[in-house]
Structure 1
Amino acid sequence: MQTDGRMRYTRNNYINYERSGHVHIFDRLKSMLLGLNRPQSTATAESADKTSITATTTDQTPSINQTEALILVHHLDADGHELQAPEMIAGYVGDEIHLPDVNIAGYHLVHIDGLTRWFTAPQARLILTYERQAGQPIWAYAYDIDQRQLIGLPTMMRGPLGTPYQVAAPTVAGFKLLRSVGDVTGEYTTSSKTVLFFYRNQNWRQTDLSTGFVQIRHRTRVFPYPGATTTNYLTALQQGSVYKTYLRVQLNAGDTWYNIGDNQWIPEAQVQLTNGDQLLPKLPLSYRTRDQRQVQQTGIVSFVPGKQVHTYIEPYGRYLTTVADGEKVILTERLVDDNRVVWYQVKNRGYLPGRYLTGLEPHGVGL
């Protein structure tokens, strides 16, 4: 038997194929098939994934005879392209049709054309049309890199699996884009993705994380943001008082400001930097060193994957720098305080609590 001039099949091939158990009842269409006894009728059913499936049929109930029948089943996408090789269903005119159970990864069935409940002719064609499933979303976030906070609502993009996407950086009033982290281009997949866009206040030229101290030179007011000329803060800072700073900002105009708390800024002209030990808070006696000795070891930083942990100029002192999780470091000193907290000195990089180190080698040294 010749079909479409492309492939030759025999009745025995497909009768054996059907009887061998490789043809399955398309269970989710049973309820739809019950309504296909009338000519020119249309039935709809809802699949397990809540997708509406439509089917068109033009058959009447045939009389059963021994005429061999063959149906060619095509699986097409919305553009008419074959998604897999056509399948054949064999039987006799008047027999009930058993549709193959087809599951094409990344697609769901949306339309059936030429569907009948019985074999009605020696040769027929059935066309199943599928729609591309939607990929997982791409999320985009806008962050103020200095204040470490969101500066806009997150946005989400979705599209069909396998299709390309491109995330554009949102425009945020009063801010300039610095950089992005994450794939701004790619394809929709079965996994969601995140893109982070980092911004800086457009009036800020340069910033520096500052964890030092400043001493007030002259009585000064506190302002709500760098460059402000008026303030609602009633309390003024007194001459000689000392404050911890968290951020230093140089504005485009050239002046520099220090942050001493949430929305609390003072101009550099009113302060002087100080690193004097007399200005640092005195450590409780329980934090004094009990056991201090030199070591020659290596260790691996164990923090949060992909993150960095601060080191300190001295135990419980000011931040010095950072080391990355998983980084192998050289250790030159070990000490213990009265609370039995262990500290290690990382070569040329300050002190780090022992709880952030693992894989100490040589093993047992300095324990």
Structure 2
Amino acid sequence: MGKKHIHQHFSHNGEKTTMENDVLSPKIKKIARDDVEIKIHYVDSLGKDIIKPATIKGHYLDKLDIPWQEIPGYVLSSVTNFQQTFIPNDDGIYLVYASQLSAPVIVYHRNTNGNLIADPQYLEGELNQKFNSKPLEEANHFLVHAPKHAKGQFTDKVQEQEYIYNVLPIKDVKIKDNLYIEVRDNVDVFSKPTSKVPLDKELPYGTTWKVYRAVEETYNHTIWYNLGGNTWVPSGKKISTQLINRISPSQEVLNSPLDETASNISYTYSVIDNMTVNRSVKILYYSDQYITAWKTPYGDMDNQRYRGDQTVLVKKLVQLDNYSVWAQLDDGYYVESKYLNL
């Protein structure tokens, strides 16, 4: 029989050692130290992907920096399979995000006196989404102050920004004495220029009204026409302006409105109804406010004024064909009935 060959080896101290071959045990695996891959998942509370997963690679046991992401409309709520070093992980790391609404960004536009020159703007978007506020385009050349950070991100808290313009809200516009507006559709009426809240009654379609004063909004060039007292309408597609010449000086005064024609009531309207009243009533205004007296309905205003809460005697009520109702007082002047507690 042949002899069994024994390989002899010497240890570091000179002692003989033996092994049947030099092959390492198959149970020992060599780990590649430069190709550990970890998959990062960005999911919602139901485990569905919100954005595309990311794969990061690093050396074995090196520090692992998770690529956190800000996702609009979501906030990070938890992490599954968290690890700080590159250790093989077939499942990957799961970043779980919860859906969350953001708060608005409110943008104010004011003049140097602190008064708003436009409605506040409400910017809305998803949580962490970027926003960019801007000044009013029509008033940009009046801008004297802008917020330090016009750009930002929506958060869960309300944010406010302010633009300031060196501009007066309105300026007077010179008009002719015989300027009128013609109403092409029902038009809202306001108690003062730039007001956003209309009065209860509208100007009816097809009517014509005398203009006593006009002002212009300096930042958007809207013109407001005063139709007497605290009655204003803004320019727009529903109205047009025209010049109407007076026929005679006799139109200044109405001796008896029940017998007059359209030409000497308002140059446009005629009386369609009337009622004798002879009753004392009060002016529906605060005591520090006044309403205008008219020589004739829609005719000329007078310097005469009636103070709020003042008691006056109404002789007659006159309804014109534009459905406005006027009260003739005992001193001969007229006021619109809406200012009285009839």
Q: Which has the greater radius of gyration?
A: 2
TM-score normalised by structure 2 residue count: 0.31
TM-score normalised by structure 1 residue count: 0.30
